[in-house]
Amino acid sequence: MAPDKETGVAVVTGAGSGIGRRVALALRNAGYRVVLAGRQAAPLDATLEAMGDAGEHRGLAVPTDVTDPGAVEALFERAVAAFGRIDLLFNNAGSFAGGGPIDEVTVEDWRRSIDVNLTGGFLVAQAAFRRMKAQNPQGGRIINNGSISAHVPRPNAVAYTAAKHAVTGLTKAIALEGRGWNIACGQIDIGNAATDMTSAMERGMLQADGRIVPEPTIDSAHVAAAVLQMAALPLEANIPFMTIMATRMPYIGRG
């Protein structure tokens, strides 16, 4: 059932599956009009259908390659044309590309990981920032999806780890520069949320000591609830960094 009150306009990247889809559904249920972005149209349409918004003008699906500056600009142009402004960005698109021992990672795989996880995040945040700065009333909130890997690496994940560490710097820079424009920026660092991309964790993950060990996961609904908590704050308040993880995962004390 559609909410009676519209909370604002949210853009969610990587919205066709996993955490992005779960967060998009939670935002819609909380009253947001939601613009869904992702590489493929069919998964976005499935998310839109799950929101119950097909044809209701409360949701919009825009296939978008976040590594393409023109596609990102087109995404935000369509969002503003449809709904008038941008109040929230969940900057979520990412990829595990570039895995393997550091001495075997190809330059192509390295660049692909950096392009999606860092450059794509920058392009999307930049486009959102521009609209939030220019709109009236001014301001908005950007929530970047970092990762536990923004703090500590897994074995054989040099490109992903480097990109996610850099996302932390991106978050801090946006938070600083956004002060004068009523733009808040925070980051959620997620550990072992259960999605199709993380299904291997329950079967066994390579540990620092070389063992393959199954790892506990949490329902991605908990991640969506955490994003909603960050989003619900007034713009004069901000959660710069939040970590949500499976209690028993090998993160604190990893290695």
Please state, in angstroms and rounded to a whole number, the distance separating the CA atoms of residues 82 and 153. 40
Which secondary-structure segment (H or E) carries 194?
strand 193-194
By annotation, the residues acting in catalysis are: 160
Identity of residue 74: A
Integer angstrom CA distances of residue 99 from 38, 132, 153, 247: 22, 35, 12, 25
Please state, in angstroms and rounded to a whole number, the distance separating the CA atoms of residues 26 and 9. 13
What's the chain's length in residues? Answer: 255
Q: What angle do CA 162, 164, 165 make, to 5 degrees?
A: 65
